[in-house]
Amino acid sequence: MGKLTKLSGFIDSHLHMLGLGYTKSNISLEEAKSKKEVISLLKKSQSKTIIIGKGWNQEEFIYKKFLTKADLNKVSLTIPVIAIRICGHVLVVNDAMLKLAKIDNNKGINGGSFDINTGIFKEKAMDLIYNKIPIPNKNDLKEYFIKANKIMLENGITSVASDDFSIFPISYEEIISVINELYKENLIQVKITEQVNISIDELRSFIKKGYVNKRFVKFKLGPLKIIADGSLGGKTAALREPYMDDANNLGIKLYTDIELFEKVYLADSFGMDVVIHAIGDAAINQAINAIIKSLKITKRKNHHHALIHAQLATKSQIKLMKEWNIGAIVQPIFLNTDISIVKSRIGSRYKESYLFKTMYNLDLKVGFSTDSPIEPINPFYNLYTAIHRKSIKNNKLQPLLLEEAFELKEALDCYTKNNLHYIYEDKQEESDYIIIDRPLNKNDLLNTNVLKTYIDGILVYNKIK
């Protein structure tokens, strides 16, 4: 095969397939280096009904200030405008959007916050805006999945664990139907394990209808997905001590302790695993405690419970995860963005952050993912940050905690063998593989490209024409 190299197909254990396709269908704000550039990009929209952009990051701006309503009013005073932060946990709207959503006061909302003076909405408060966005029809949904499938195949990803039920106010059964149709029509090939992100009332219905752990011809329904807090970049990750650069802010917990336990226990008692988004140490504490409390009742041994992200998990929390067999679905690629902010956000606490190798050494089931479209889906970027602990976009920054760096084989295992645990497979299909354009080398990862992708032995992507 010469210089070409054959590898097992990559498995991404947490992303948003529908969200990736949807994001690629809207205005990308990821390259904006100033508020002025954000405004300019949004003004290019041809939409006369609603303008939506995603991907801005105030840390890329000179003054590092959030966008506000005043900025988006410069885009349009008559057309509603929504600008979603890169993390997906904060958005900003203009006056026209506030009017459309009929929001004229700062009423409190559990698990979120908003300010009509700035137009900034965080966490659950964002639903006040999302519920006013036109709901895509079935053809739109199919287009988003097809677009995401194409991107994944180009990047050598053959299986994913994906959170798709929460992006639109659409029933989970409709999304299931759309995915089944796409497979039947052979319009998507990537193998999906759904991370079921639904409310507790929907969960009761889900259980009653017999959907727990259900397998269809081409995809399967996996664990319950719960979001316990926000993001570090958006300052909504729930911390036990305040942010260093925001002294009165502890972030946002989306659930009370009782609410989180009730949701975890309902799933756990019916043999359904839970994967909990928890970034801040307070949210991690809450998530671990909820899982332990449930397991003490259900006595389940062979569960696949896990924390997603676990960025600020302390060593004592990691030991507790090990004791109760709680896995970790992590994103080394987050270092690409977060290296530049972690010390200013949490001060000396950074010494117990992104401890992914510590987790691996303790034999936690560590799986790699990208959380795409939050970060680039390219697996070689993810491998690079795991191995070098450096930012790709600003390689002048010092590595973060080099003692947490992975060896190439270890990182590759976290992207393949370990992730089988999170897609409920015992072994990886030999017929799911990729061809890359060079030998895999830890010092040449950023230049590595996928040439061919095979699923079930069938060539589904071919860069060599």
Residues 197-250 have pLDDT tens digits of 999 999 999 999 999 999 998 899 999 999 999 999 999 999 999 999 999 999
Mean pLDDT computed over every residue of the chain? 96
Asked whether residue 117 falls in the same domain as residue 166, the answer is: no
CATH number at residue 370: 3.20.20.140
- 270 Cβ neighbours under 8 A, 6+ residues apart: 207, 212
Q: Is the pLDDT of residue 386 over 60?
A: yes
pLDDT given for residue 217 in this prediction: 85
Asked whether residue 71 falls in the same domain as residue 153, the answer is: no
Asked whether residue 176 falls in the same domain as residue 90, the answer is: no
Mean pLDDT of 269-284: 99
pLDDT given for residue 2 in this prediction: 54
Mean pLDDT of 87-114: 92
User: Beta-carbon neighbour count of residue 35 at 10 Å?
Assistant: 22
Q: Is the pLDDT of residue 443 over 90?
A: yes
pLDDT band, residue 307 (cuts 50/70/90): very high
Q: Which domain range does residue 153 map to?
A: 138-455
Asked whether residue 420 falls in the same domain as residue 347, the answer is: yes
pLDDT given for residue 94 in this prediction: 98
Asked if the structure places residue 94 within a domain, the reply is yes
Q: Return the structure tokens found at 232.
A: 């570090």
Mean pLDDT of 362-385: 98
Interatomic CA distance for residues 268 and 338, integer angstroms: 33
Asked whether residue 178 falls in the same domain as residue 53, the answer is: no
Number of domains the chain is built from: 2
- CA 447 vs CA 1, 367, 376, 397: distances in Å: 19, 23, 15, 20
Asked if the structure places residue 1 within a domain, the reply is no
Asked if the structure places residue 347 within a domain, the reply is yes
Asked if the structure places residue 187 within a domain, the reply is yes
CATH number at residue 113: 3.10.310.70
Instruction: Give per-residue pLDDT as tens, 129-147.
Output: 999 998 999 999 999 999 9
Q: Whole-model pTM?
A: 0.95
Asked if the structure places residue 55 within a domain, the reply is yes
Asked whether residue 249 falls in the same domain as residue 329, the answer is: yes
Q: Is the pLDDT of residue 457 over 60?
A: yes
Q: CB–CB of 53/44 below 8 Å?
A: no
Instruction: Give per-residue pLDDT as tens, 402-437.
Output: 999 999 999 999 999 999 999 999 988 899 999 999
Instruction: Give per-residue pLDDT as tens, 52-81.
Output: 999 999 999 988 999 999 999 999 999 999
Q: Of 96, 130, 164, which residue constitutes the final position of a domain?
A: 130
